[in-house]
Structure 1
Amino acid sequence: MPRIEHVGLTPAQVQNFIDDGFVEIENAFSADLAKQGRDELWAEIGLSPDEPEKWVQPVVRVGFKSSFPFVEAANTPQLHKAYDQFAGEGRWLAPKGLGTFPIRFPSPEAPGDDGWHVDVSFGTDNPDFMEWRANVKSSGRALLMLFLFSDVGPDDAPTKIRKGSHAVIAQELLPYGEAGATLRQVSAYGYASTEDCEVELATGMAGTVYLCHPFLVHAAQLHRGQRPRFMAQPPLLPKGEFDPASPPSPVQIAIRQACGLTF
């Protein structure tokens, strides 16, 4: 039987990423890998899917995981092709695992981490995380990624996404230049500038991945469902700084369109 090479995302999907700031990829990794990952995470947090009476916290966090199911899930041929399509061919580092994992449990208690935000990407050696930074070139981050390791419906604390908010944040980062803005500066007004953006929910079956623009404004929320939500939210790391001699990637095209830049 002849080998069929995965052709990647369609031009329409790439354009949707530029315009909306994200694309959902179904079946990006297998349900079996998702189950293996969940099993490892259950063991790490010392809880069980069969003992809901012990799910007493609204969220339990697990750091970076570099065991087999997580490395495999992050590096499927389909995802590698998509990384090339969005971040630029050969301009990203293959993930050596996945993390962090905010595991969310059904609870009437607010999780305490559900504010709107963008993920900053450099200056992370500063002990004050509010001083971590982002700049208009998105130094230190090629993509924001959401890996669903469990089925996630509307009630299962899906990540909330402000559609098109990446363009607003690009404009706000532009005056800060290459030095960038701190998280304290970026969040000073509570992301009020993106309040009119349509809100989408990162729902899907286990094995779904959302590839997002680094500037996308997003938020956690209360879990109103029945089963815990398992998700990884890693960055895709770039190989280096933006090279103006290379063709712009969709990540860079979105920034250029928002800011009228020529870099």
Structure 2
Amino acid sequence: MVLTPAQIEQFVTEGYTVLHDAFSGEDSMAWVREEAAIAGYDLDDPTTWTKDYVRISTKRSQTVAEFSPVGWQAACELMGGEDRVVSGTRISLFALNLSQGADQPFREATPQSPGWHKDGWHFRHFLDSYEQGLLGIPLLTDVHPQGGATFVAA
């Protein structure tokens, strides 16, 4: 088992859990740098950042099981076994926030904050829809305090 009983309980009662060190930070950072460079963005040179936020379709992709065997195992545990998880799900899109909001003062996230985003807004959900049965959010790079990463409202 990858998940602790406390993580499983948190997932059941709160709807989420956090899994630390599910993949190599060095490997993921190298992949982000590689894909950003292909798209014309040097992460160490802000003069190349023609947009403050960009989505990059990656040139190479990996299945979740390849990229993060630990994350894959955790998903399988939460969903009741590997046979209940759609295999072959790939990581093939990076969302890079290079400087969006950097010119604004920091504001604590609240339900009234602007910019909330809802995954799956573009299709109708059903109880048996596999697309949103479990949403994993891998943070491929370090996020600094007040850095604008995904916010979980518990």
Give TM-score scaled by structure 1 length.
0.47
How many residues matched? 141
- Stretches (4+) displaced over 4 A: 72-75
- Go from structure 1 to structure 2 and tell me whether the alpha carbon gap of 1:150 and 1:27 turns closer, same or farther (over 3 Å shift): same
Deviations 1:81-104 (A, max 9, x none): 211111120211234421432100
Shift of the alpha carbon at 1:25? Answer: 0.9
- Go from structure 1 to structure 2 and tell me whether the alpha carbon gap of 1:134 and 1:72 turns closer, same or farther (over 3 Å shift): closer
| Aligned counterpart, 2:42 | 48
Structure 1, gaps ≥5 residues long: 1-6, 122-128, 164-263
Q: Is the 8 A contact 1:63 1:101 kept in 2?
A: yes
1:23-172 matched pairs, under 5 angstroms? 23-63=17-57, 66-67=60-61, 70-71=62-63, 75-89=67-81, 90-106=83-99, 107-108=102-103, 115-120=115-120, 129=122, 132-135=123-126, 137=127, 139-141=129-131, 142-163=133-154
Using the alignment, how far apart are the partners of 1:150 and 1:73 within structure 2? 19
Please give the root-mean-square deviation of Cα atoms over the aligned residues, in Å.
Answer: 2.5
User: How high is the sequence identity, in percent, across the aligned residues?
Assistant: 28
Shift of the alpha carbon at 1:77? Answer: 2.9
Instruction: Kindly name which structure, 1 or 2, has the bigger radius of gyration based on alpha carbons.
Output: 1
Using the alignment, how far apart are the partners of 1:115 and 1:138 within structure 2? 29
Q: Is the 8 A contact 1:74 1:98 kept in 2?
A: no
3-state SS, counterpart of residue 135 of structure 2: strand
Comparing both chains, which one has the higher relative contact order based on Cα–Cα distances under 8 Å and sequence gaps of 6 or more?
1
Using the alignment, how far apart are the partners of 2:144 and 2:153 within structure 1? 18
Q: Is the 8 A contact 1:74 1:95 kept in 2?
A: no
- Go from structure 1 to structure 2 and tell me whether the alpha carbon gap of 1:101 and 1:77 turns closer, same or farther (over 3 Å shift): closer
Shift of the alpha carbon at 1:54? Answer: 2.5
Structure 2, gaps ≥5 residues long: 105-113
- Go from structure 1 to structure 2 and tell me whether the alpha carbon gap of 1:13 and 1:148 turns closer, same or farther (over 3 Å shift): same
Q: Is the 8 A contact 1:59 1:104 kept in 2?
A: yes
Shift of the alpha carbon at 1:45? Answer: 1.8
Using the alignment, how far apart are the partners of 1:134 and 1:120 within structure 2? 8
* Amino acid corresponding to residue 103 of structure 2 in structure 1: P
- Go from structure 1 to structure 2 and tell me whether the alpha carbon gap of 1:72 and 1:83 turns closer, same or farther (over 3 Å shift): closer
3-state SS, counterpart of residue 21 of structure 2: coil
Deviations 1:118-148 (A, max 9, x none): 3228xxxxxxx3xx2113x251222111111
3-state SS, counterpart of residue 22 of structure 1: coil
Give TM-score scaled by structure 2 length.
0.76
Q: Is the 8 A contact 1:64 1:100 kept in 2?
A: yes
Shift of the alpha carbon at 1:39? Answer: 2.3
